[in-house]
Chain A
């Protein structure tokens, strides 16, 4: 039942915050903050009590739609756990970051924020594939409303684009899930959407490739992969701060999580067929994202474009598919969530003070806000992969893993690291250094901001210096993927 609480806590907090905000907005904010922290604490306790054998820490199964073989079943392994921890942490960050920025319809805002978090949590926990799809779509509507109502000037356009892209991918995922379940039903006679039962489904080669592509379409839109990314810069830059934090920190991770969770275990035969093309796409995305980031003159768009580059490493890691690369992909997701989420919070803080995030109208902020400058520098360095911080570990592991599969692609991808230095330093230079633009003297970090930023910084350092705990947590899942891949390669013709 703990798993159910993980989803219900943010959802109920959001429902309660809606009316509570009419009485006292602070109460609503406090409630949501407490809910996110509670999620974090529960996840941390689960982590402490991780059993040493088997992949699954906890599972839950309740009947839901028996006529269609759909159950309300959840499971949690180390991979989900890491992402739940990230959800709790970034949820708290999102609430804190919008503490003073959101003043209208506070209750509805927090309801939408918490509903999004509940949806993301559900995605990380779902065991039944239809349930996964339900959560996948469920986080869409509140996130849409967050962007639509509290977003920037072009919010309607950005919100609609985001929804359309995600929905298009989602429908293909639904077709894929149903086709997989029906194939399974024809073989075994039972209709089920249970992940653990569907894993063994035998597919013909062409079937496998089509289904893999259907699943991949949904995940690649969210990740996003090159070509499916146009929604991302708009959505991130137009969303309110909390929305950007959740989008960059968590929603993109849902794409990466989906790839890790489903692609290899469900389609081990078809996977190697797709892998080279997907890796090439990933490298193109890494380079393109970096170039795009360099060309932006909007702070939030710059950070958003850099996400395309970073998430390219996740795609590369997943499809390189050896243990190093897969582990690297997991760490990249955590690190990117921490650093980019915080960078968006910082961009929000700047926007709140100066009412712009356009690079031309920013500059020389260091003199007025040295502390914020320092913190930003720290997270920018973490993002570009400074050794000792979170970003380095993941991208390094992915590159090592990819080198074993394709040295050429790995070499090209590492060029992305160099480019990231360029755009990151440009960001620092345009915003904090150079001549001062504008008249105002914004105040430096408040106590609330100090608190949230230092926690995030501590987490970034911790993942960077002691990544072993993270790697241990995701190891069972990664090893199982390795096993299913080698099983499939060992007996390629044994299946119909």
Chain B
């Protein structure tokens, strides 16, 4: 362990330190504001440490972790996402629970788990990160402890995450049995025997569960609906982003796409996710469930980048994920901001005429929905453009047709919500009056909207950054 190792690990160390600092602060005095500020400041410091350590060459830490520019880019994305979730949670928790502070210990720990996943160079590290992430999420999903919805969601997540972890561990064991090592690479070996193939299939179950790909998606709507809105945003973005980055790294390090069977399998999963996710979202009157199904479809789109040639696919995945992070966090942020102390604003009726009651929230949500739908001048368009570009240049016509079909279906339910936003306000007072938005929530939503539009209007700087960081060979 050298000083350079420590410098490379700084984001990980700082995020851990954040959790511990909050824990110590809690033992001294229980103050919601203090815990939230400590958490946000710690995560911001971790992000700053990534920026400062940009010049480091790839570093291997004890053959389990590797810190390269790819890992740094996704670490930045994860930490930024966690920071936004932390800020959004402040206003959300204030109205809902009597003890807020534990939340700000568990959230950075979940971020550490995600960081370990994106930095892992070994299946062991991946499994470790996966466990840490899952365990924090059980508690965070059930954090409100009200009603049956959130407990049911947490138990559902617990059981299914446990089962999928078991598959992942078993898959890792089979791969170990085949090649005597858990490290990623060297490429080609993994496909030599049916045992390794079975191992990779079992791993895929674990990864597919976290990414909520069809057919491992059954937990998604219930968990999103039961979880607190910011945590639903966290599951949709940070947790998926980390596992997706790992899948990207694993597939290309092992060169698994040289095998036709794996391409076939991933293509089928991607197309099924795009179509099933969008079709199931059509029938939802519950906004959180609708966003859950739409997130299934979005990861399906992302698989196009996974299957496309690396030189175009990797930047496309990074851009699409960035745009998806912004839009999903923004959408769940608005849901959280509108929510009652007793229940989340997840009925379509809660959004009727919002544009005239709460113009800022309605405008934000409009921007987020348009970005999710991939319309121009939002980040979502740049993401979809790069994604389709990578797909066309690798001639993935089947997946592209599924994407077009899925996008058209998705327009329908995004428009349903959009139409509700601009509905004529009812003559009488609305049945529920949503609480005032606290300023940190407003600031976070404003940041997300500005970033969304800025990337949509002028994507060149982001593309430069991604070209430098997320594409570099490892």
Contacts and interface: CB of A to CB of B under 8 A. Distances in A.
The answer to whether A and B touch in the complex, with CB atoms under 8 Å apart, is yes
Interface string A33-71: 000000000000000000000000000000111111000
Contacts of B381: 134, 137
Given A160-B415, A182-B393, A67 B375 contact: no
Interface stretch (A163-171, A301-309, A413-421): A163-171
A179 interface: yes
A140 interface: yes
Interface stretch (A141-149, A342-350, A477-485): A141-149
Nearest to A108: B355
Interface string B396-417: 0000100110011001100110
Interface in A95-143: 105, 130, 133-135, 137-138, 140-141
B400 A175 contact: yes
A149 to B, nearest CB: 5
A171 B407 contact: yes
A257 to B, nearest CB: 18
B392 A182 contact: yes
A68 B385 contact: yes
A45 B389 CA distance: 40
Contact of B463 (A65, A174, A182): A65
Interface in B275-310: none
B419 A156 contact: yes
A82 interface: no
Contact of A163 (B386, B415, B422, B460): B415
B406 to A, nearest CB: 10
Given A137-B375, A141-B375, A175 B404 contact: yes
A159 interface: yes
Interface in B436-467: 458-460, 463-464, 467
A318 to B, nearest CB: 25
Contact of A141 (B370, B382, B416): B370
Given A134-B377, A167-B408, A65 B422 contact: no
Contact of A171 (B370, B404, B416): B404
Given A175-B392, A175-B400, A179-B392, A145 B375 contact: no
B376 interface: yes
Q: Which of A67, A133, A149, A160 has the most CB of B within 10 A?
A: A67
A87 to B, nearest CB: 19
A397 B412 CA distance: 41
A172 interface: yes
B419 A148 contact: yes
Contacts of A175: 388, 392, 400, 404
Given A160-B415, A174-B388, A182-B392, A134 B407 contact: no
B304 to A, nearest CB: 12
Contacts of A179: 392
Contacts of B377: 134, 138
Interface residues of B, number: 32
B422 A148 contact: yes
Contact of B392 (A68, A137, A163, A178): A178
Q: Is the interface of B mostly helix, strand, loop or mixed?
A: helix
Contacts of A105: 356
Contacts of B403: 171
Contacts of A174: 385, 388
Given A65-B459, A148-B422, A171-B407, A134 B376 contact: yes
A79 B305 CA distance: 39
A164 B376 contact: no
Contacts of A130: 385
Contacts of A140: 375
A141 B456 CA distance: 15
A65 B408 CA distance: 26
Contact of A68 (B376, B412, B463): B463
A145 B419 CA distance: 8
Given A148-B422, A160-B412, A164-B411, A65 B388 contact: no
Contacts of B370: 141
B408 A168 contact: yes
Contacts of A182: 389, 392-393
A159 B419 contact: yes
B366 to A, nearest CB: 9
B376 A137 contact: yes
A192 to B, nearest CB: 13
B69 to A, nearest CB: 17
Contacts of B422: 145, 148-149
Nearest to B423: A156
Nearest to B359: A108
A164 B408 contact: yes
B460 to A, nearest CB: 6
Contacts of A65: 382, 459-460, 463
A144 B356 CA distance: 17
A133 B382 CA distance: 12
A66 B460 CA distance: 7
Contacts of A135: 376
B74 to A, nearest CB: 19
B467 to A, nearest CB: 6
A179 B401 CA distance: 13
Contacts of B389: 68, 178, 182
Interface in B206-256: none
Contacts of A64: 458, 460
Contacts of A145: 422
Interface in A463-484: none
Contacts of A164: 408, 411-412, 415
A313 B419 CA distance: 35
A167 B407 contact: yes
A133 B370 CA distance: 15
Interface string B365-396: 00000100101110001100110110011000
Given A65-B463, A164-B411, 10 more contacts: A65-B459, A67-B460, A135-B376, A140-B375, A141-B370, A149-B422, A160-B412, A160-B416, A171-B403, A182-B392
- Which 8 A-B pairs rank lowest in CB-CB distance, beginning with the nearest? A134-B376, A67-B463, A178-B392, A168-B408, A171-B404, A137-B376, A182-B393, A156-B419
13 contacts: A64-B460, A65-B463, A67-B463, A67-B464, A68-B385, A68-B463, A134-B381, A138-B375, A141-B370, A148-B418, A163-B415, A167-B411, A172-B404
Interface of A: 63-68, 105, 130, 133-135, 137-138, 140-141, 144-145, 148-149, 156, 159-160, 163-164, 167-168, 171-172, 174-175, 178-179, 182
